[in-house]
Amino acid sequence: MANTALLRKRLFSKASVYLVIILGITLVLRLYHLGKPSLWLDEIGQVLVAKKSFRGILQGVCAHHGAQPLDYMITALFVRFSSYEWVLRLPSAIWGTLSVYYLYRLGAKVRSKETGLLAAFLLSIHPLHLRYSQEVRFYSLFLFFSLFSTVMLFQSWKTSSRKEWSLYAISVTLGLYTHIYMGLVILFHSFWVGSKYIMRDSKESAQHSNTFRFLLSVIVSFIVFIPWLLYSVLREQRTSAFHAPDMTWNLARDVLLQFCGHNSILVYLLGSLALVGLIIVFMSRIDHGLLISLWVIGAFPAVVILDQSYSYFFSIRQMLFVLPIFLLLVAIGTEWVADEVVLHTFKQMPLPRQRQLFVSSILFVSSLLVAIGMRPQIHAYYNQPRGLDWRDIGTLFNNNLSVKDKVVLINVGSYTKYYSPRAVRQSRYTHNLSTVQREYNTNSPIWVLETPYLNQVPDHHAIRNWLAHTPALIFPVGMGANVFYLQKGKNKSDLALVACDFTLPPNKNTLLAYARLMSQYGHWQEAGQAYGTLSKLTRGQKAETEYLYQAGFSFAKIGQSKKVHYYWERYLKLSPTGRWAPLITQHLDSYSH
């Protein structure tokens, strides 16, 4: 045991240095590409509400299911300074970084500093936490308050300080004004306090006073929350637009899979380590074990029941506040395994050798998590679309709408105006086919935005069927969304001629559809320009060379030899033995002669 204590002391004597490194990694990951993706639907909804007056914000929050006003108020403060996406998302990145710090603090209080460091590292690289630390939504702030309040509860119980109990009460209150699930966290805290009171030591004179101060803090918090409870929470109605979840094992397994980076190997590895960690916590401290087990296991059925109560759909973001506690159990299990395997199995070894084995085992598990599960997910998060690109939709409308054009928005009217105020001024909002047909029959060109949110409209089958059988140009914008350009009395060839003057956003789906359309109707200049832009936007030899070939081919059709040379020489440089290389070489030789 002396060797174990000495080993820990030497390994983690610089815990603050490790923590700074972890927090640095956390912040960099959350600031990276912070403003690159456009705001998605829910983010736009929050920002639009935040731009209103104080009373308008409160009314707007009431219209959003499950929303509480605090994070909207913070967004309102930032949007007064700037509407850049990275500015609006900056608070979430900050809360996410602070959450990693307070998970370290929680791990240190539940087990040890090394446990806190490993748990903090796991949360810092977790793709799920990274995602919601880069959104203009309240999930990151709620996670911060759930961890901060728990740390303050432990600290207040230890010191019996009125100041720290006040901080606990404030954090709980702010948590309630951030997310209604803070009530679940308070419930978990109550069980922890109850277990400590039941198992109280007669020598600890502060037990009664601490229990009283906890109850007083919770009561005060709920009293402060009553105005919003009466104004919004109790008045919220059930919705018929969503499908409530069923409490099934498959749903619980899906949550575990997402906690483990969508990797089936990590499900078994992390699940086993978390189970070991839970057993270790119960064996060392029943009160901590009760708190953590309720948090990790009890939160899922509680969230599903609440969703069923309001006929709301289930999403993994509702379980985000459970993720750090799950990772804390993984860290506890990892530390225990390392202790047993290294410090006990190899206890005859010299201390330096034990230290090397202990560090190697911890690094092995951490590296395995990064290499197998987290790294591919982080890479996919940064490089794949995160949602419908409303910025590109706005650019498409802003660049190409003429004065006489009309825009038909189906179930997404208020969201479109954030990136395209011009489109909104010329828009018609509708939920039925008759309005779409009436606008079409005016003989003016119309733009129809079709998104997956059309499925929430009763007429969605009829609208899609009508669009499929009416001559139109279709511009895909990704994630199942399309922009249709139509005009009564004109076929696709006529519409394609008008589209020659369109300026398109740098969206690969839109550009590819446009390039193929222009090629189909012989508008080679526009096709070549679109393929050329695609070649610059595309990474990956196969796709890039295909676009380079098509760009050169299009310009060859109209005899623009300089551009043909430019694109085909780029092709040969990337793929000298590629599919089109012999043909390109032959044509370039003929151009030279």
Using CA atoms, how far apart are residues 551 and 567, in angstroms rounded to an integer?
A: 7
Query: Is residue 11 pLDDT above 90, yes or no?
Result: no
pLDDT tens per residue, range 303-330? 999 988 888 889 999 999 999 999 999 9
Nearest alpha-carbon partner for 386 in 92, 37, 33, 29 = 37
% of the chain exceeding 70 in pLDDT: 90
Report phi then psi at 412, rounded to 5: -135, 25
Beta strands in 188-324 (DSSP E): none
Nearest alpha-carbon partner for 214 in 197, 226, 234, 233 = 197
The predicted model gives 426-433 an average pLDDT of: 85
Query: Is residue 510 pLDDT above 60, yes or no?
Result: yes
| Strand duo 473-478 + 427-430: pairing | unpaired
**Helical ranges in 339-459 per DSSP H:** 351-368, 375-383, 390-400, 413-416, 421-425, 433-440
Nearest alpha-carbon partner for 193 in 228, 223, 157 = 157
314: three-class secondary structure by DSSP: coil
pLDDT tens per residue, range 260-273? 888 888 888 889 99
CA atoms within 13 A on the CB side of 164: 14
Query: Is residue 356 pLDDT above 70, yes or no?
Result: no
Exposure pattern of 190-218 as b/e (b: 16+ CB <10 Å)?
ebbbebbeeeeeeeeeebeebbebbeebb
Query: Is residue 346 pLDDT above 70, yes or no?
Result: no
pLDDT tens per residue, range 18-76? 888 899 999 999 999 999 999 998 999 999 999 999 999 999 999 888 889 999 999 99
Least confident range of 56-65, 383-392, 544-553: 383-392
Helix (H) or strand (E) holding 475: strand 473-478
Handedness of CA 417, 423, 427, 430 (dihedral sign): negative
pLDDT tens per residue, range 564-584? 999 999 999 998 888 888 888
522: three-class secondary structure by DSSP: coil
Looking at per-residue pLDDT, the higher value among 275 and 431 belongs to 275
Report phi then psi at 427, rounded to 5: -100, 155
pLDDT tens per residue, range 106-118? 999 998 888 898 8
Least confident range of 231-235, 360-364, 496-500, 501-505: 360-364
- Contact between 4 and 343 under an 8 Å Cβ cutoff? The reply is yes
Structure-block tokens of residue 86:
């990275």
pLDDT tens per residue, range 151-178? 999 999 998 889 999 999 999 999 999 9
How many beta carbons lie within 10 A of that of residue 514, not counting itself? 28
Using CA atoms, how far apart are residues 271 and 150, in angstroms rounded to an integer?
A: 23
- Contact between 141 and 74 under an 8 Å Cβ cutoff? The reply is yes
Report phi then psi at 65, rounded to 5: -60, 130
| pLDDT band per the 50, 70, 90 thresholds, residue 294 | very high
Query: Is residue 95 pLDDT above 90, yes or no?
Result: yes
| pLDDT band per the 50, 70, 90 thresholds, residue 205 | low
Residues forming beta bridges with residue 473, ordered by sequence position: 485
